[in-house]
Amino acid sequence: MRERKLQPPKGPLQGKIEVPGDKSISHRSVMFGSLAHGTTHVQHFLGSEDCLRTLTIFQAMGVKIEQKGSSLTIFGKGPEALKEPLEPLYFGNSGTTARLMLGILAGLPMFTTLHGDISLTKRPMNRVVEPLRLMGAQIDGRDHGNYLPLAIRGQTMKGIRYELPVKSAQVKSAILLAGLFAEGETTVTESTSTRNHTETMLEAFGAELHINGTAVSLKGNQTLTATDIYVPGDISSAAFFLVAAAIVPGSSLKLLNVGLNETRTGIIDVLLEMGADIQIENERQKGGERIGNITITYRELKAVTIEGEIIPRLIDEIPIIALLATQAEGTTVIKDARELRVKETDRIRAVTETLTRLGANIKETKDGFIICGKTKLVGNRVESYHDHRMGMLAAVASLITTTEVTIDDITPIATSYPSFFKDLEQII
Ligand code: S3P
């Protein structure tokens, strides 16, 4: 536990920040590089606790990976060279590691046991375990395999046609990864598009896949070939600074080299609809992903309704969008976001409790919030709920509170953004 007291700053926020690499893409770069044949170089890798879990797990399975700052060199020898780990694999707080690794491990000829921290141990794994069992996986664990710790006895897997019952890129990715080394063809169909970094990276590593609307198909028994990866800045980390500049009067911030993949830019759409002043320049493709610089300048905001298809495009940003809504004129409604209840914590409950303690007018609903703005926020003591995004939400809120905010524990922030306070101090 590491408490932190934050004094509200005196003036507007100004400056430039290059946020660290994207968490989703960093995880996948290690997974794909380790499964590929040849040497993969990764630039701008996010060395956060979550991504280092993925890295450590592949090292425990015998993959040589060198890390120098934010650069990685991964010496891949294909899935057949992976060794049965001697000890249980520890996933810490990382849902992405857990869910995607289930898809990989289910088809490897080895026995593995998997466990995580107290937050991850409460998160449902059935959404991945069920389709993997239909492909032939042998997985057991607490509550018939719904919760960690889990044990996997690797099997020869068979391709599957599967319609995703939950809007989840993690589930889609786990099935595609299992399908890649299975017999026959695998097709995953989703009702609403979720982040597509797995598909993009599969193509970059030379896999053949077909995308038809929201259906992705691939043949089994494919070989991946090493490639070089550049990881764009994480828009989910940039979101905290976008909101900071949008709520502190007089601010202007430039965020450099941020990932602008369509499946992730819902926060920009929402900010624009609220009336924010946002300019995007130097937009380009780098390593298969769209990136660019975002400049945001403070302007008065108005309330919006956020629902339906946009939700997966901003699912991780909803906590910080809730703070944004407290500073917009009118009533903001956020719905169709029930998934927030099974993130690192129940984020609907945690956001409502936190913003209420800070003086906001916010009501919890079954799948979102109703937030009435604009309200003056006040200082208080708040929790981070073992959740990095709740910790950063509280820190950004402290920029506009009348008095000091105390966060009970800032250690969870390192799961996605170890240099968060260093970057924040640069612009205050
Ligand atoms: C992620 C997908 C999302 C997101 C998580 C990272 C990924 O989860 O919330 O932070 O890397 O695929 P779901 O796919 O479960 O919605």
pLDDT digit string (tens) for 128-175? 999 999 999 999 999 999 999 999 999 999 999 999 999 999 999 999
Q: Residue with the nearest Cα to atom 9 of ligand 1?
A: 316
Verify whether ligand 1 is closer than 6 Å to residue 258 (CB atom). no
Please give the class, per CATH, of domain 4-20+232-427.
alpha beta
CA 124-129-133 angle, to 5 degrees, is 160
Pocket of ligand 1, candidates 125, 173, 315: which has the most ligand atoms within 8 Å of its Cβ, to mutate?
A: 315
Cα–ligand 1 centroid distance for 104 (angstroms): 17
* Mean of per-residue pLDDT scores for the chain: 98
Residues 6+ apart with CB under 8 A from 395: 4, 6, 240, 405, 407, 410, 413, 420, 421, 424
pLDDT at 10: 79
How many CB atoms lie under 10 A from the CB of residue 337? 22
Looking at the chain, which residues constitute the CATH 3.65.10.10 domain(s)? 4-20+232-427, 23-230
pLDDT at 9: 83
**Active site amino acids:** 316
Q: Which two tokens stand for residue 373?
A: 């703005």
Cβ-contact 107, 157 below 8 angstroms = yes
Q: Which two tokens stand for residue 325?
A: 């809504």
Residues 6+ apart with CB under 8 A from 159: 135, 179, 182, 183, 184, 185, 186, 187, 219, 220
pLDDT at 287: 82
pLDDT at 90: 98
Ligand 1 atom closest to Cα of residue 315: 9
Verify whether ligand 1 is closer than 6 Å to residue 22 (CB atom). no
Where would I find the H helices in 166-317? 169-180, 197-204, 235-247, 266-274
Three-state DSSP class for 160? Answer: coil
Residue ranges of the chain whose pLDDT lies below 70: none
Verify whether ligand 1 is closer than 6 Å to residue 415 (CB atom). no
Pocket of ligand 1, candidates 93, 126, 164, 195: which has the most ligand atoms within 8 Å of its Cβ, to mutate?
A: 195
Q: Is 136 exposed, middle or buried (0-12, 13-18, 19+ CB in 10 A)?
A: middle
Q: The domain at 23-230 falls in which architecture?
A: Alpha-beta prism (3.65)
Cα–ligand 1 centroid distance for 170 (angstroms): 5
